[in-house]
Amino acid sequence: MDLLERIRRHEIKLGVIGCGYVGLPLALEFAKAGFSVVGIDTDAEKVKRINQGESYILDVDGKELKNEVEKGTISATENFSVLKGIDAISICVPTPLRKTRDPDVSFIVAAMEKVARYLHPGQLIVLESTTYPGTTQELVLPMLQRDRFKVGKDFFLAFSPERVDPGNPVYNTKNTPKVVGGVTRRCTDVASALYQEVIDTVVPVSSPRVAEMVKLLENTFRSVNIAMVNELALMCHKMGIDVWEVIEAAATKPFGFMNFYPGPGIGGHCIPIDPFYLSWKAKQSGFEPRFIELAGQINSGMPAFVVSRVADALNDYKKSLNGSKILILGVAYKQEVNDLRESPALDVMELLHRKGAQLAYHDPYIPTLSLGDLELRSKPIDRGRLKEYDCVVILTSHRLFDYQKIVSESTLILDTRNALKGIKDKKVHLL
């Protein structure tokens, strides 16, 4: 029986390398569909918690995970030798940037070295880690294809970009369309068949390069448009115009406009990183990606602008930033998540600390935080506590925040997210 037929019968064993924000939700979806799934991760703590049925990802229901663990459909290990008995492998490892903004594909290379060691006929390998166009065919394929193993015949290789939006209450792994591009047509068919068993909509494309570019386009689109509205915010501040009112009015147009909002910067595992993968690859091809570079400059400059706004607001109250007690509300990169990756709050806090501010923070999802030489713990904002601070800076909005209380009890507020929309008070300063 060939691999396609075994996929349709749910008789294959699936391996997911990398059990983070992408890998664990994917593994759970396959397990819920009746597949036998093994999560493979070098983090012993993650492996232990999965095998105990404990979720460490907010988007993964702990009860669902525990149920599948108890049924025996999902388990985890640090031992890559299990790949000998795996029929299909999804690779969901990190792809960060180096300080020089060059792609760091070392995690992909390390994972593929393990896969190559245990590669056997009839195996499907799908890379999901965001990367530059050409990675699958130029880097991964040569590591796997040997004299006795031909792609599309003896094994199957494809790229399918992850589309995870942490904390999104509407879209999840199952109902977010999945783009799939195989090295050969047969590779695309086999990979698509696998994902069709657990994901509502699968979108086949002609090649891995197209699939890789799709992911980068999606997040470059967001980066460039966020940069545009951030620049608009800087412009409106100079001109004495409320940028939030401008956006709200523009959004009434029923065509040709899409809402993007300014903020203290961009964060997360995609938008601050992915466009520079594309930029790097474009430069390798002799093309200068000016929009991407300019967007990066504007977005990376927003934390400094926030700090300048804090200093100006304090100055209006005849206070110096140096020595002032500043409370940061929300340090995760977006609302309702416990994700600090690339969070602009870290840059804002670092700049404030350098200028002598006495820092504290409150975030219901981040109990502790290391910031250089500072070890901070989330402070409660019980009644009366807010008056202790010279300025409260809202960097992430949360439904758990009592904004009426925050306004009534604070001395001064800088709201970078327009979280206090509808609450007017002269002590409130907008970005």
Burial class of residue 373, CB neighbours in 10 A (0-12, 13-18, 19+): exposed
What is the average per-residue pLDDT within 245-255? 96
Q: Which of 279, 300, 321 is the last residue of a domain?
A: 300
Residue where the block lists tokens 């004495």: 240
Residues 219 and 359 in one domain: no
Q: Is the pLDDT of residue 426 over 90?
A: no
| Nearest in space to 134 (alpha carbons), one of 281, 301, 293, 295 | 281
Instruction: Write phi, then psi, for 199 (nearest 5 degrees).
Output: -120, 135
| Nearest in space to 377 (alpha carbons), one of 389, 360, 392 | 360
Residues 211 and 161 in one domain: no
pLDDT 10s digits, 6-31:
999 999 999 999 999 999 999 999 99
Q: Is the pLDDT of residue 54 over 90?
A: yes
**What whole-number distance in Å separates Cα of residue 384 and Cα of residue 321?**
22
Q: What's the pLDDT at 180?
A: 98
Residues 43 and 145 in one domain: yes
**DSSP conformation class of 175:** T
Q: Is 236 noted as a catalytic residue in this protein?
A: no
- Residue 21 and residue 164 in contact, taking contact as beta carbons nearer than 8 Å: yes
pLDDT 10s digits, 143-187:
998 777 899 999 999 999 999 998 888 999 999 999 999 999 999
- Residue 57 and residue 20 in contact, taking contact as beta carbons nearer than 8 Å: yes
- In the sheet where 178-182 sits, what is the strand order? 74-77, 36-40, 13-17, 88-91, 123-127, 155-159, 178-182, 202-205
Residues 197 and 216 in one domain: no
Distance (Å) of CA 194 to CA 102, 130, 371: 32, 20, 43
What is the average per-residue pLDDT within 341-366? 95
**DSSP conformation class of 82:** G
**What whole-number distance in Å separates Cα of residue 407 and Cα of residue 309?**
18
Residues 245 and 185 in one domain: no
Q: Which domain holds residue 374?
A: 302-431
- In the sheet where 325-329 sits, what is the strand order? 358-362, 325-329, 391-394, 413-415, 428-430
Residues 173 and 36 in one domain: yes
Q: Which of 19, 92, 236, 270 is catalytic?
A: 270
Residues 50 and 172 in one domain: yes
Residues 217 and 336 in one domain: no
CATH code: domain of residue 375:
3.40.50.720
pLDDT 10s digits, 295-326:
999 999 999 999 999 999 999 999 999 999 99
**What whole-number distance in Å separates Cα of residue 365 and Cα of residue 348?**
18
Please report which confidence band the pLDDT of residue 83 belongs to, taking 50, 70 and 90 as the band edges: very high
Distance (Å) of CA 372 to CA 147, 339, 351, 388: 51, 18, 11, 24
Residues 308 and 406 in one domain: yes
Q: What's the pLDDT at 61?
A: 93
Q: Is the pLDDT of residue 409 over 70?
A: yes
Residues 400 and 423 in one domain: yes
Q: What is the CA radius of gyration of the chain?
A: 24
Phi-psi region of 317 (alpha: psi -120 to 50; beta: other; left: phi over 0): alpha
Please report which confidence band the pLDDT of residue 421 belongs to, taking 50, 70 and 90 as the band edges: confident
- What burial letters (b/e) apply to 62-71, b meaning 16+ CB within 10 Å? eebbbbbbee
pLDDT 10s digits, 95-124:
988 877 788 999 999 999 999 999 999 999
High-pLDDT (> 70) share of the chain, %: 100
**What whole-number distance in Å separates Cα of residue 386 and Cα of residue 424?**
18
Residues 218 and 349 in one domain: no
Q: Is the pLDDT of residue 422 over 90?
A: no
Query: Where is average pLDDT lowest: 40-49, 130-139, 141-150?
Result: 141-150
Q: Which of 235, 269, 300 is the last residue of a domain?
A: 300
Distance (Å) of CA 217 to CA 124, 224, 281, 292: 26, 10, 13, 11
pLDDT 10s digits, 221-239:
999 999 999 999 999 999 9
Q: Is the pLDDT of residue 1 over 70?
A: no
Residues 94 and 195 in one domain: yes
Burial class of residue 429, CB neighbours in 10 A (0-12, 13-18, 19+): middle
Strand locations in 26-113 (E): 36-40, 74-77, 88-91
Q: What's the pLDDT at 69?
A: 96
Angle at 245 between CA 242 and CA 246, to 5 degrees: 85
Q: Which of 150, 180, 206 is the last residue of a domain?
A: 206
Number of domains forming the structure of the chain: 3
Look over the chain and give the mean of its residue pLDDT values, rounded to a whole number.
94
- Residue 205 and residue 177 in contact, taking contact as beta carbons nearer than 8 Å: no
